[in-house]
Amino acid sequence: MKIVLMGYMGSGKSTIGKQLAQSLKYPFVDLDEYIEVQEQLSIKELFSQKGELYFRKKESFFLQKLLKEHQNLVLSLGGGTPCFAGNLEALQQQGSVSVYLKSSIKVLTDRLFKEKDQRPLIAHVTEKGQLEDFIRKHLFERAFYYNQANIIANTDNKSISEIVSNLSEEVC
């Protein structure tokens, strides 16, 4: 079974994905990290040196490659992955179980403001209110895609182990 985690940056896709994979004894792949290894550039460098279009093409290519290569897999996507290049349709055609890790705007804002310097998309943000507006706009644009997931898991006020336990029960 292929379990694909999607959601906004800071929603816990990588953290939850690693623990879910461990509990299911499946391999875990973070798509962004995989792309960085394959391309030998960071995501930030790919965007700045080769542009978003190049990145989105590679993202789609590597997503399809991973889905074809693995029978069992927990895969965490980049926040925008399901929104581009027919990636959501590819997930559905491959029979993956998609999971939207849904966090509130407040939780995302609090979490991301602390780590904004490590995230190129929001590194320029100086005020929490500005970040909240940025997240609100992005979530509005992406909700159409995220809400098509097979499972929508609200992560607010839940521990990582609680989320992993709930997802393990739902997907098996």
Please give the annotated binding residues, written as ranges.
10-15, 32, 56, 79, 119, 142
Distance between CA 14 and CA 73 in Å, rounded?
13
Task: Please answer whether residues 113 and 124 qualify as being in contact, where contact means their C-beta atoms are separated by less than 8 angstroms.
Answer: no
Going by the annotation, the residues of the binding site for substrate are 32, 56, 79, 142
According to DSSP, residue 84 is labeled S
- Sheet of 97-102: strand order equals 28-30, 73-76, 2-6, 97-102, 151-154
- How many Cβ atoms sit within 10 Å of the Cβ of residue 13? 27
Residue 72 region by backbone torsions, left for phi larger than 0, else alpha for psi between -120 and 50, else beta: beta
Rounded to 10 deg, the angle between the 105-114 and 128-146 helix axes is 120
Residue ranges of the annotated binding site for Mg(2+) are 14
Is residue 101 within 8 Å of residue 11, measured between CB atoms? yes
Give the DSSP letter string of 11-26: SSHHHHHHHHHHHHT-
Q: Which residues are annotated as a binding site for ATP?
A: 10-15, 119
